Amino acid sequence: MTSHHSAPDRIYLTEAKLASLRAHILRTGVAVPALLKAQEKETQGITYKIVYDWLTGRVKSADAKHYKILVKIYKKLPDENENYAEISEELLLKFKKEKARTGVSAKKIFQTAENIPKGLTVFHVENLTRGLVKKTRREYLEFLLSEWKKYADAPIRISITSEMLAHMLQEKERTGIGPMALLHGTKKDRPQGLTTSLMDSWLAGKTKSARKDHLDYVFERWRKLPGSKKSPA
């Protein structure tokens, strides 16, 4: 009778699984080497290099038993302190609303903000807002929400209807003024992002939507202009 050892069951290390493990490390304040040393008997066969390769993405799968044991031990450990909060569905919805309102991603907040809390990374921020982390430091949440509050509402985009396009062409014809002349000398007071090439694209029918504040500004500029001398009285 031939005896053989079956290969250990392996699991794919999804983003959610890695995020869960990282969150436990962060929540408990217990680093992997310290955990392995304290739970030497229970974690037999698991080395820091194995776990390090998981967390850095060097390997894409793991011994299922190793992963389960590690997470099970971490789950039993208490929070490092009380400065942690659960990521509720309500909080996730708030993140989504703020992102939609401002048009600013969590990653951009991290890139532009000052006084970023110690230990907070872009990776953690992205996992946090995607619901892959179930618990995090309260100061991280407060930081994110306070940064979002600094941003104004994102400009509203609307479709350029055939009536709007016809009106623009009529105004251009009535006044004899095209995009370049219309925007000449308005750099300081016109909305950011409004350019002659953008207007040309509207008038050619190539761009089907525009920022509402851009259209409002352009229509108002044309409205204030008198008719062209070439136009009949």
CB atoms within 10 A of CB 67: 22
Bridge partner list, 138: none
Per-residue pLDDT of the chain (233 residues; tens, 9 = 90+): 444 455 679 999 999 999 999 999 988 888 899 999 989 999 999 999 999 999 999 999 999 999 999 999 999 887 776 677 888 899 999 988 998 888 888 788 888 888 898 888 888 888 888 888 888 888 899 999 999 988 888 888 899 999 999 999 999 999 999 999 999 999 889 988 899 999 999 999 999 999 999 999 999 999 999 886 554 43
In the numeric block, which tokens belong to residue 167? 């009106």
Q: What is the DSSP string of 90-103?
A: HHHHHHHHHHHHH-
Q: Which of 80, 139, 148 is nearest to 110 (CA)?
A: 148
CATH 3.10.450 describes domain 157-224 = no
- pLDDT score of 73: 93
